[in-house]
């Protein structure tokens, strides 16, 4: 019998207090089939043990979070970032993750040169594509809400991410459509359609834009339904664009992190069924 939850994935950041084994167990108990894994909790238990746990639980890995941080102006720091991304690609390959989410990084310290930082991202992706291709991994460029352009991700729009992805095969470079990051974009419809035509939607993530914005902007994401985003509309857009993959819920929010994770999963399931895929 269909539960309607077949494509729902828990990005483990949503249950930030859980270790990876706890999150895997939580998914199984909640009847989910997919998980988005973060590298830090992965490192806590080790790649081999994580792979065994996830396989034993019968879960897919919808994404590994995250690679990126490619904007260093300094060459030594840039090469170190590439090496770190190579390790992340290795992990994504071992976990058979659908993609490696790339948060590209903000302006280098003291720099106000946004075009230069964006050019560095393109250079980094060019260097990483052969590494990803060799390991059969798909890099997923994540455009981030412009609230994060300065300090987290200089890619601000889906259109810009697609421009960077375009020279490379779609199976090695895709984009993330994260509702929180892209909902405001007046070109959302045309760029999601463009991403679909090029088979580049690597991940669809959902969480809400809430107001007033919490004091810590990094923790400003809300549970679906608590804010201003029309998720059903976004789901229709990615579906019309041909996306059939997992739908990941990734929420950075102090209140949600302080709540009982199992209860958060139940709310997430209900909101997903009522507001995203209904």
CA distance 271 to 115: 39
Among 44, 184, 190, 255, binds a copy of itself (CB under 8 A): 184
- 151 touches a copy of itself by CB under 8 A: yes
Would you list the DSSP string of 220-246?
A: -EE-TTSSS--HHHHHHHHHHTT--S-
Instruction: Please identify, among the stretches 8-16, 28-36, 183-191, 235-243, the one whose residues bind a copy of itself according to the rule CB under 8 A.
Output: 183-191
Report the nearest approach of a copy of itself to the CB of residue 66 (Å): 20
Report the nearest approach of a copy of itself to the CB of residue 167 (Å): 17
Closer residue to a copy of itself, CB minimum distance, 161 or 265: 161
Closer residue to a copy of itself, CB minimum distance, 29 or 270: 270
- 209 touches a copy of itself by CB under 8 A: yes
Closer residue to a copy of itself, CB minimum distance, 228 or 270: 228
Would you list the DSSP string of 96-158?
A: T-S-EEEE-B-PPTT---HHHHHHHHHHHHHHHHHHHHHTT--EEE----GGGTTTTBS---H
Residue 157's CB is within 10 A of a number of other CB atoms, namely 20
| Partners of 9 in beta bridges | 34, 248
Closer residue to a copy of itself, CB minimum distance, 48 or 212: 212
Among 43, 213, 240, 258, binds a copy of itself (CB under 8 A): 213
CA distance 54 to 41: 13
State the number of binding residues for a copy of itself (CB under 8 A): 33
* DSSP conformation class of 213: P
- 157 touches a copy of itself by CB under 8 A: yes
- 118 touches a copy of itself by CB under 8 A: yes
The closest of 97, 198, 84, 201 to 142, measured between CA atoms, is 201
Q: Which residues bind a copy of itself (CB under 8 A)?
A: 107, 112-114, 118, 145-147, 149-151, 155-157, 159-160, 183-187, 209, 211-213, 215-217, 227-230, 233
């Amino acid at each position: 019998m269909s539960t309607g939850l077949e494509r729902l994935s828990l990005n483990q950041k949503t249950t930030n207090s859980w270790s990876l084994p706890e999150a895997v167990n939580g998914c199984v108990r909640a009847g989910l089939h997919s998980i988005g894994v973060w590298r830090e909790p992965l490192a806590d238990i080790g790649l081999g043990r994580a792979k065994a746990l996830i396989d034993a639980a019968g879960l897919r890995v919808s994404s590994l979070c995250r690679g990126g941080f490619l904007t260093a102006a300094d060459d030594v720091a840039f090469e170190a970032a590439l090496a770190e991304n190579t390790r992340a690609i290795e992990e994504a390959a071992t976990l058979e993750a659908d993609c490696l989410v790339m948060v590209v990084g903000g302006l280098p310290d003291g720099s106000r040169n946004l075009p230069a930082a964006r050019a560095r991202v393109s250079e980094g992706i060019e260097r990483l594509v052969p590494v990803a291709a060799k390991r059969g991994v798909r890099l997923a460029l994540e455009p981030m809400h412009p609230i994060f352009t300065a300090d987290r991700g200089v890619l601000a729009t889906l259109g810009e991410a697609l421009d960077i992805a375009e020279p490379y095969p779609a199976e090695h470079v895709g984009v993330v459509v994260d509702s929180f990051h892209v909902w405001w974009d007046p070109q959302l419809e045309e760029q999601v359609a463009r991403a679909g035509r090029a088979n580049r939607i690597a991940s669809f993530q959902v969480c809400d834009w809430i107001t007033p914005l919490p004091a810590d902007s990094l923790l400003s994401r809300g549970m679906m339904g608590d804010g201003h985003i029309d998720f059903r509309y976004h789901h229709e857009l990615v579906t019309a664009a041909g996306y059939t993959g997992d739908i990941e819920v990734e929420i950075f929010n102090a209140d949600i992190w302080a709540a009982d994770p199992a209860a958060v999963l139940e709310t997430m399931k209900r909101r997903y069924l009522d507001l995203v895929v209904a």
